[in-house]
């Protein structure tokens, strides 16, 4: 699909989300709900008195939150689109220069950084940057510039992993 058309479609999905529910898209919030429900399942008292997690332990279960349902939709939507385009295949995608083991290490390290950063920045590229820019919020633009700026700055040091 032509990227511009995909961009317009994504914009319309974002608009539909605003019109229907008054809030934009998000992703890292769902991962946090997974973590919160995991921690409260394994060590309930620890979750109760942990400064950060208890904020998300209000009455109903953390898994019954807006973002978790949205991410469930994302996974199924992605699967359908992959199936339709014939891209369903279990594999590790990596540049020929690195081994898949190294790629997996990098991916999990990147995930760790992104998870940590998304909590600190109150949202990831879709939650804070994309939604923030659509509503013209300053936080959106600052987060977007910080994410893309740092990525561009560090690109040189990690070029072997990609090119």
Partner 1 sequence: MGPIVPLFNVSNEINLLFAFIIGLGFGFVLEQAGFSSSRKLAGMFYGYDITVLKVFFTAAITGMLGLIFLNFMGLIDLDIIYINEYYITSSIIGGIIMGAGFIIGGFCPGTSFTAAAIGKIDAMWFVAGSIAGIFLFGEIYPLLESIYMSNYEGAVKISNILGIRDGYFALLLIIVASIMFWIGELAEKKFKREDISKEI
Partner 2 sequence: MNTRIIISIIMISLGSIAAMLPKTKNSSIQLKADELLREMKRQTYVISADELADLLINQDPSILLIDVRDSVDYAQYHLPGAINIPLKELLDPEWAPYVDQISQKNIFYSNGTTLSSEAWILTKQIGFRNNYILGGGLNKWFSTIIKPEFPATSAPSETWALYETRKAASQYFTGSKAADKEENAVILPPIPRKKKTRVQGGCS
The Cα–Cα gap between 25 and 3 comes to: 19
Angle at 143 between CA 140 and CA 147, to 5 degrees: 135
Binding residues for partner 2, how many (CB under 8 A)? Answer: 22
- Over the window 123 to 152, marking each residue x when it contacts partner 1 by CB under 8 A and - when it does not, the resulting string is xxxx-xxxxxxxxxxxxxxxxxxxxxxxxx
Smallest distance from partner 2 to CB 26, Å: 5
Per CB under 8 A, does 110 bind partner 1?
yes
Per CB under 8 A, does 133 bind partner 2?
no
Q: Tell me how long the chain is.
A: 163
- Footprint of partner 1 on residues 58-77 (CB under 8 A)? 64, 66-67, 69-77
3-state secondary structure of 89: coil
Smallest distance from partner 2 to CB 22, Å: 4
Smallest distance from partner 2 to CB 28, Å: 5
Residue partners of 54: CB distance under 8 A and separation at least 6 = 47, 48
Smallest distance from partner 1 to CB 92, Å: 5
The Cα–Cα gap between 113 and 133 comes to: 23
Angle at 52 between CA 51 and CA 54, to 5 degrees: 75
Residues interacting with partner 2, by CB under 8 A?
A: 2, 4-5, 8, 21-24, 26-29, 32, 66-67, 118, 122-124, 127-128, 131
């Amino acid at each position: 699909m032509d990227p511009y058309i995909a961009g317009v479609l994504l914009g319309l999905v974002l608009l539909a989300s605003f019109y229907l529910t008054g809030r934009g898209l998000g992703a890292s919030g769902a991962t946090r709900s997974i973590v919160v429900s995991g921690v409260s399942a394994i060590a309930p008292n620890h979750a109760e008195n942990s400064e950060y997690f208890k904020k998300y332990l209000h009455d109903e279960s953390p898994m019954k939150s807006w973002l978790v349902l949205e991410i469930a939709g994302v996974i199924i939507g992605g699967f359908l689109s992959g199936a339709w385009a014939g891209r369903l295949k279990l594999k590790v995608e990596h540049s020929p220069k690195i081994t898949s083991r190294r790629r997996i290490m990098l991916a999990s390290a990147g995930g760790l950084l992104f998870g940590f950063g998304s909590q600190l920045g109150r949202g990831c590229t879709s939650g804070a940057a994309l939604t923030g820019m659509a509503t013209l919020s300053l936080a959106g633009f600052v987060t977007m510039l910080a994410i893309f700026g740092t990525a561009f700055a560090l690109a040189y040091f990690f070029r072997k992993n990609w090119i």
